[in-house]
Structure formats: structure tokens, C-alpha cells
Amino acid sequence: MKIKEYFPRPKERTTLLITGGAGFVGSHVVEGVLKATDWDIIVLDRLDLSGNLHRLLDIDIWETVQDRVKFFWWDLKSPLPFDIDCDYVWHLAASSHVDRSITDPLSFAMDNVIGTVNILNACRSLQPKKFIYFSTDEVFGPAPKGVAYKEWDRYNSGNPYSAAKAGGEEMAVAFANTYKIPTIVTHTMNVFGERQHPEKFIPLVIKKVLKGERVQIHSSPDKEPGIRAYIHARNICNALIFLTEKGDCLDGSGTVGKYNIVGEQEVNNLELAQKIAGIMGKDLKYDLVDFHSSRPGHDLRYALDGSLLHKMGFVYNKNFTESLEKTVNWYLDKNNAHWLWL
């Protein structure tokens, strides 16, 4: 069966397949592509805990662009029984919650490794011009102060989630080497933005501050808060478009075809929570909690070196401070409060 039989497209139009396109990052990527290009999009998603069609319906220009988006339901734990007529594939579908991966590691291996193999197998017949595997900074494990990992540094997965993403990444490399699928791998740091699941740190802080509740901040035994470099999902989309147009694919050398998409500002989680409360004009009540000792798999700091993408000429459209203020104020709008599950 061929999806193009259901979703015919003019041959002169570029078509992008996005797996996980109804998820948090995926929906922002769909939005960004619709605004920045004239491409058509096919979204593949299973609509589970993270996938939600309301994320697409809430895109501010949806009414004028929805004819460029086609949705197809599929769970990638099963092989695709159809072909998709597309030019590019961006594989964003994944299970991505560390706590759940510690509780149920097998489901993460199924989603992030087996699911990746199934979409890669499909690409053997689809023959896209480029396949992008969306990986994470967590495959490198915790980063000591002063260390920022480069694209081809060794893996040191600290939890089943990161191990499963590393497994999917290695499958993408193997398929590029074995079947010559033109492939790019990206590593991305903590992503934030509108329409994020309320279990994630930024919407969780907003929700607790609104309710006057205490916020638990991940810290070391000596009360040093966890450190991350946060990046807005719209900047992720800009980077993916940039790499689709200008990035070099894996060539078997082990030196080309991977790119770090890095937040431009490192901030510890206590500082971030304080910034959020400040934007809201409220006080922050918090506790520093040693999650790392009590719950293995929670790493204190992740860090990537983003110099490669910078040298290629990529720049972010908005900086961290602007993006954070915009995001917090979006959640505070009464029309968007349902995204906090209030």
C-alpha cells in the first residue's frame, strides 16, 4: 500500500515526513516548516501520552495551512506496511522521559531502537534525499564542569532512555553505512516551548508557582542544582531546515554527518525556576533535592559543543531570554491554561 494513493501531491512540491509530528517538539517543527517553507508535510504519530492532535490545531496559522499537512496514524514498533511519497524524513518519534525509562526500560528500547529500525527499513524503499535522526545530549552521559561533548565523542548513557536513543542513533549510522541511506544525526539539549507536557520542568514550575506550591529542584548531595542549556523548539526547527539544506551526511568516516544543536545559554535549574517566577511576578518556593543519589539515572549536568553548526553560519532567531519570556507568558494566557492541566 502506498500513502501517496491517499495523499497525492504535485511533483514540483517538496514533501517532508515527520515521525512524532503531533508531539511537543514535532508540532513545533511542523509549525516552523509551515511558516518558513512551502513544503508539504506528512505527520506519522501514534497519539499516545505525548502525541496530541490539539498541538497541531493550536498552531496560530493552522486554518490557512492545514491543506499542506496530512496525518497518518502508526505505531513504529510495527513495520510500516506502506510506502510514503516524500523527499525528506525527520525521525523525531521517541519515548523521552527518564523516570519512565527507569521504571520500564523495555518499552523505551522498543520505541527508540525498534521504532527507529522500522522507519529506517522503510527508507530503504522510500529513498529519501535525506534522513535526519533526532538524538539527544544524554547519549554522552553527565558532563563535568568545563566539558562540552563534540559530535563524535564516546557514549556513556546514564539511564535507559539515553541508552535507547544511543541504540537508535547507532542503527541510523549502520543503515547509512550498509544501505547508503543519506543520513544526518543531531544531538539536542533540553527543549522547551509552548504546548509542552506539564510533567516537563518549565510548565511544571509555572503550574506550581501559580498554585503557590513548592518546586523540587534536582541537585547534588551538596545542594548544587542541576545544570542544562535550554533551547526553544522553534530554534530546533530552524536548525533542522538548515541541515536539510546544507548539512553533510554520514560518509562512513566517523567524522562527518553529526551535528550538535545547542542552547546558547547554560543555566542551573534553580536559576531557571527563579527566572520563571520573576516573569510571573511571584515568589518561588523550592526545595533542593538530591535526586541523583536517591534515583540513579538523573545526571547533574549535560553539555554539548555547538561550534560546528555555528561555523557553518547557523544562528538562532531568538535568544534564550526572549524565548523563555514568550513561553511563560503564553502559558499564563487564560486561553492556554488547559496545557497546564489546571
Catalytic residue list = 137-138, 161
Distance CA 46, CA 20 (A): 8
Q: What is the DSSP string of 5-45?
A: GTS---TTS-EEEEETTTSHHHHHHHHHHHHH---EEEEEE
Rg (CA), the chain: 19
Distance CA 86, CA 9 (A): 9
Phi, psi of 34 (to 5 degrees): -60, -35
Distance CA 277, CA 3 (A): 47
Distance CA 50, CA 38 (A): 27
- 83 pairs with which residues across the strands? 2
Question: H/E/C letters for each residue in 40-104?
Answer: EEEEEECCCCCCCHHHHHCCCCHHHHHHHEEEEECCCCCCCCCECCCCEEEECCCCCCHHHHHHC
Q: Amino acid identity, residue 293?
A: S
Q: Amino acid identity, residue 4?
A: K
**Coil/strand/helix, residue 121:** helix
Q: Amino acid identity, residue 138?
A: E
Distance CA 75, CA 275 (A): 38
Structure-derived torsion over alpha carbons of residues 202, 207, 209, 210, reported in degrees to the nearest 10: 140
